Structure 1
């Protein structure tokens, strides 16, 4: 889903086109779900599998310029509802995982509130807003496992500066019901389990496994660049890669993960950010 560098100039679309496009892609996804049933992961297990494969946590609240904090408090309520649907989900060998098929449509009837939704380089409120924090967390953890990411969508806009960023730019997975999904497949011979919970300050996640990992992973950024385009805007690009290490610490591989290109919605830094890594 990565757009080419020459396709980054913003395009203004009418409200009618945006409305029609969203309905088209939503119903296209419903049709895909109907005709491609597949071997979906649906079973949950309350008891955690014995081995931790990967884990991460992210803060629930960030003070963002011009963003009403109530939207973030509402986000926490939305996350609790989504976590309840995902916590304990088991993905057996050969099974697939769909973020939106598992959570379902976030509606007011189910208790979802208005949270912050990124929208064409800005933000607005929307029912179920804030669930990208959960898809970002799951994606980041998955990059530290042998599970295969079969669908992931990047953010087309870089909305907020790097202050307090702890992961490489472009290492998240944006989501929008239901056409921007996060999907995984277990092509290993081991069973994995997703464990999630919240406390007063953070969202926590783990991938658990029924056996020890053969490898561990270091995810890092490469080829970071900020370009001033002829039309006057800045485009930020990079690639996400990961190093694969054996249990003894030997380098077993260096893999390309994703390529990112995003329109910057703020003035670029005078100095490029230092390389951020998380791994060993």
Structure 2
């Protein structure tokens, strides 16, 4: 009945008696054996509502292909078909089955392909190869400068537009790559920004310059990247370079006071200081306009040696620690997300560590993996937000400045549940890193918003941590009882970290390296 289907007994019986009230005919009808087709009534709006609910539960959207430039090579991740409930066909099946034996009804599903087809994605990858294979020559006035292929690669990203992956060039990166060559013809300009003076944000005035506009440079270079040499030459005009953000505009952004601040502690390690420090440096000074989304990966860039990162410990396959470039940046990611959490920023996407790391607050932490997943939040307030960071050898701080939307934002932590034991594994390889085990569990964290002393909103974030194995370096004594493990080999660190202790950061999947 909830689906709007009902047995109409009166109409079904009426089939037997017809529409006559003749007594002889009525007696004859009741004395005669007949099979009657049951008649149902359908409330189509109720049925549609039920089908909408089913569709919400089972529909799986298609995954669009992605194309990134990693280590100056194009890497294409193919799209994946999704599926959706065929509501008309499933509704028809429900109607047919309603008056029959009660058995499960098979939902009718249809494939939902990605908007970007496989041929279109391959076409974009071919363009990417051509784009980053050779330099582009730029003529501005009397100066000709060369943007080398590596800088083209650093400036190039791809975004989905309709059924295509479209190249996008960052004009600021291109401009920076030839800035030294353009010094003779350019006068530097400057957007307005902010600095913190005596714990208060103040505007740093804008400055008008002259030279090449970043947008024009990007647009002109875009016309050449699909060409082979010698057809990779462009000309850009010289002119006034107006700031994108003027002093007057900056003064109207509502950046007046501290909204939130969070400091994440971590054990000292040289690689952490370098990697977390590099991430903090890149985040510092971020201006997030109303409605704008912050991306950790886009801001701190790919974790490569060229971008200032070094090798550190990460969480590898199966929860076993390993070494990768950029180990430690998840401490920066957690710092940023926690500060954003208490600033009231909208959670766009966060991914917790796959296993629990004891120095982080369970359920209120985040990690990133280049080319796999990101940490994103959106400034859903009417005012801009200015972000500053500070580093020490054992901590990172992030502070958000703007205009508070709420009087207070609190985090309420529920108990751990679905606690799962950890396994023990033995590793005989020379690269073994012993580590203590860590139980898996689930936890709920509520973000509670207060205004005028009353709760006005509440959001729940559920995090599921997998168990991480206890890793013992050596042979399994149960399988080889006559060959005991040498003393000192087991990794019995109760914190769940190997020795030497790692960062506990999420490993970038192998294809990203």
TM-score, L = length of structure 2: 0.40
Q: Which of residues 172, 193, 205 in structure 2 aligns to 1:45?
A: 193
- 1:114 pairs with 2:311: yes
Match of 2:301 in 1: 104
Secondary structure in 1 matching 2:322: strand
**Aligned equivalents of 2:469, 2:444: Cα separation in 1:** 20
- 1:225 pairs with 2:417: yes
Superposition map of 1:204-223 within 5 A: 204-209=397-402, 211-223=403-415
Distance 1:151 1:130, change over 3 A: same
- 1:187 pairs with 2:335: no
Secondary structure in 2 matching 1:110: coil
**Aligned equivalents of 1:46, 1:157: Cα separation in 2:** 38
Match of 1:35 in 2: 160
| 1:52-75: CA deviation from partner (whole Å, max 9, x where unpaired) | 11111122426xxxxxxxxx2112
Root mean square deviation of aligned Cα:
3.5
- 1:245 pairs with 2:450: yes
**Aligned equivalents of 1:27, 1:44: Cα separation in 2:** 41
- CA drift of 1:44 comes to 8.4
Assess if the C-alpha contact under 8 Å between 1:145 and 1:216 holds in 2. no
- CA drift of 1:228 comes to 4.1
**Aligned equivalents of 1:251, 1:89: Cα separation in 2:** 30
Query: Which structure exhibits the higher relative contact order, with contacts defined as CA atoms closer than 8 Å and separated by 6 or more residues?
Result: 1
Larger of the two Rg values belongs to structure: 2
Q: Which of residues 365, 370, 393 in structure 2 aligns to 1:172?
A: 365
| 1:215-263: CA deviation from partner (whole Å, max 9, x where unpaired) | 311112214225347x9995311111122222x4322233213333432
Match of 1:123 in 2: 321
Assess if the C-alpha contact under 8 Å between 1:223 and 1:239 holds in 2. yes
User: Structure 2 regions of 5+ residues with no counterpart?
Assistant: 1-74, 81-123, 126-156, 173-190, 196-200, 202-254, 425-437, 471-491, 495-513
Q: Which of residues 278, 283, 290 in structure 2 aligns to 1:86?
A: 283
Assess if the C-alpha contact under 8 Å between 1:60 and 1:202 holds in 2. yes
- Worse-matched range after superposition: 106-115 or 127-136: 106-115
Distance 1:208 1:150, change over 3 A: same
- CA drift of 1:26 comes to 9.9
Distance 1:44 1:169, change over 3 A: farther
Match of 2:44 in 1: none
Distance 1:84 1:135, change over 3 A: same
Distance 1:177 1:153, change over 3 A: same
- In the alignment of these two chains, the number of paired residues is 227
Distance 1:212 1:260, change over 3 A: same
Secondary structure in 1 matching 2:382: coil
- 1:263 pairs with 2:467: yes
**Aligned equivalents of 2:375, 2:193: Cα separation in 1:** 21
**Aligned equivalents of 1:33, 1:258: Cα separation in 2:** 32
- CA drift of 1:104 comes to 1.2
Distance 1:255 1:44, change over 3 A: farther
TM-score, L = length of structure 1: 0.69
- 1:59 pairs with 2:256: no
Match of 1:19 in 2: none
Distance 1:107 1:228, change over 3 A: closer
User: Structure 1 regions of 5+ residues with no counterpart?
Assistant: 1-22, 63-71, 270-280
**Aligned equivalents of 2:261, 2:401: Cα separation in 1:** 9
Secondary structure in 2 matching 1:93: coil
Q: Which of residues 184, 188, 199 in structure 1 aligns to 2:392?
A: 199
- CA drift of 1:264 comes to 4.3
Secondary structure in 2 matching 1:157: coil
Match of 2:26 in 1: none
